[in-house]
Amino acid sequence: MTARQRNTGIIVAVLTAIAFAGSGPFVKPLLLEGWSAGAAVIVRMLAAAVVILPIAIWHTRADLGVWLRRWKWIVGYGMIAMAATQLFYYTAIGRMPVSMALLLQYLAPVLLLMAAWVQTRRKPANVTLVGAVLSVLGLLLALDLGSATGGLDPIGVLFGALSAVSVCGYYLIAAAMPDDLPPTALIGGGLVVGAATLGALGVVGAVPLAATWGTVELFGTTVPWWVTMGIVVLIGTLGGYLGGVFAARTLGSRLASFLGLLEVLATLAVSAVLLGEIPTWMQGIGAALVIGGVIAVRLAPDTVTVDAPLGPVTAPITLPIDPEMARELREAEGEDLLTSAIPVIREAEALTGSMPIVGEGPRE
């Protein structure tokens, strides 16, 4: 990689973090004007799908059968990473500051780490545990001071936590995703599935659907609703996801991951300018602790990397390794494991002689 390519990748990674950061702050004016979280998510996903599906079809023109062959990953990604994550996140930001909801999402790597610890009964490295403690402490500091902006809303915190759990599901899906499924197909198909899922839930009354097709307040002026939604679709959705793919391929997923942590800082800045949600100095300390904790979790020396190509919380994450599982998978490798799991096994063996706890990979 040349210096020019590296610099370009860094610029794109920073812009991607800013693009993702704008999603919540630009949607909140719609929520304040009477939009429901479900309606906002559906319109966002359908509009983004119209743009990206033709690109996805072009990328899969030589193997259109991949859409049916890998439908499980498309459906899982659409229902969990797209529909559930965004619905819970938008519901949360309708009841609490955007930056606080995002910090709750950033607990996803910590939650996965704890779940893996319980499942394997293998204690993570000390630096990993320190990172988890820092993240939780930072979140508590930030949320406690949410009372300064109108009181801590327990329901908002609940939906923020559910969003973090949905992000965990996304990571587990992405860890097993086969190589023959292009990222654009995953995104495009996921957008359609996610919109259809929420639409069906809305029809039966399980998810409230409400929208006002009038004007919203933006930067101190009144604009049509489609202006702020267009910014969310083109920049916060398409720009964010596609920019993330480019940055990861140019810089490598780990460096792109750390640059993606700028999303929290960018969200704080955009929320302050657009919504007047100015954080206190204690909230800033809390955000810094959360970011520091996530960095510590991802720098864990006794883990292997699980690369997720895209995501609402920048990949990759790291999980504890289990030598016994590695041996079992190695014995089964010639039997019925998907070839998509084999590169993960070999990478883990090369680094540590063991295998990450994400399981044995998907089956047909």
Note the pLDDT tens digit of each residue in 190-210.
999 999 999 999 999 898 999
pLDDT at 123: 74
pLDDT at 242: 77
Cα 25–chain centre separation: 16
| 63 falls within a domain | yes
Q: Is the peptide bond before 343 cis (omega within 30 degrees of 0)?
A: no
pLDDT at 30: 92
Q: How many CA atoms are closer than 13 Å to the CA of 272, on its beta-carbon side?
A: 11
User: For the chain, how long is the longest CA-to-CA vector?
Assistant: 64
Percent of the chain exceeding pLDDT 70 equals 74
Q: What angle do CA 336, 342, 348 make, to 5 degrees?
A: 135
- pLDDT band at 339; cut points 50, 70, 90: very low
- Rama region for 175: left / alpha / beta (φ>0; ψ in -120 to 50; rest): alpha
pLDDT at 57: 94
Backbone φ and ψ of 314, nearest 5°: -55, 130
* pLDDT value at 331 more than 70: no
pLDDT at 152: 66
* pLDDT value at 59 more than 60: yes
For the stretch 66-111, pLDDT in tens is 999 999 889 988 998 889 988 999 999 888 888 788 888 877 777 8
Provide the domain count of the chain: 1
| 70 falls within a domain | yes
pLDDT at 349: 39
Lookup result for tokens 């590695």 = 326
pLDDT at 355: 36
Percent of the chain exceeding pLDDT 90 equals 20
pLDDT at 126: 78
Buried b (16+ CB within 10 A) or exposed e, 64-77: eebbeebeebbbbb
Residues 333-337: contacts with CB under 8 Å, at least 24 apart = 336/363, 337/361
pTM for the model stands at 0.74
* pLDDT value at 115 more than 90: no
For the stretch 249-277, pLDDT in tens is 777 655 666 676 677 777 777 787 777 77
| 209 falls within a domain | yes
* pLDDT value at 116 more than 80: no
CA dist 167 → 56, 86, 90, 147 (Å): 23, 10, 14, 26
Q: Are 187 and 241 in contact (CB under 8 A)?
A: yes
* pLDDT value at 46 more than 90: yes
Q: CA 67, CA 287: separation in Å to the nearest integer?
A: 40
| 351 falls within a domain | yes
Most confident of 16-20, 173-177, 196-200, 360-364: 196-200
pLDDT at 289: 83
Q: Domain range spanning residue 50?
A: 3-356
Residue 185 amino acid letter: A
Q: CA 287, CA 142: separation in Å to the nearest integer?
A: 7
Average pLDDT taken over every residue of the chain: 76
Tokens of 210: 């409400």
| 338 falls within a domain | yes
Q: Are 106 and 163 in contact (CB under 8 A)?
A: no
* pLDDT value at 51 more than 80: yes
| 36 falls within a domain | yes
Question: Which is it for strands 303-306 and 221-224: parallel, antiparallel or unpaired?
Answer: unpaired
pLDDT at 229: 92
pLDDT at 60: 93
pLDDT at 118: 78
| 211 falls within a domain | yes
| 97 falls within a domain | yes
Residue 29 amino acid letter: P
Tokens of 329: 């998978």
pLDDT at 148: 46
pLDDT at 335: 45
For the stretch 201-245, pLDDT in tens is 999 989 899 998 989 888 778 999 999 999 988 888 888 777 877
pLDDT at 182: 86
* pLDDT value at 361 more than 60: no
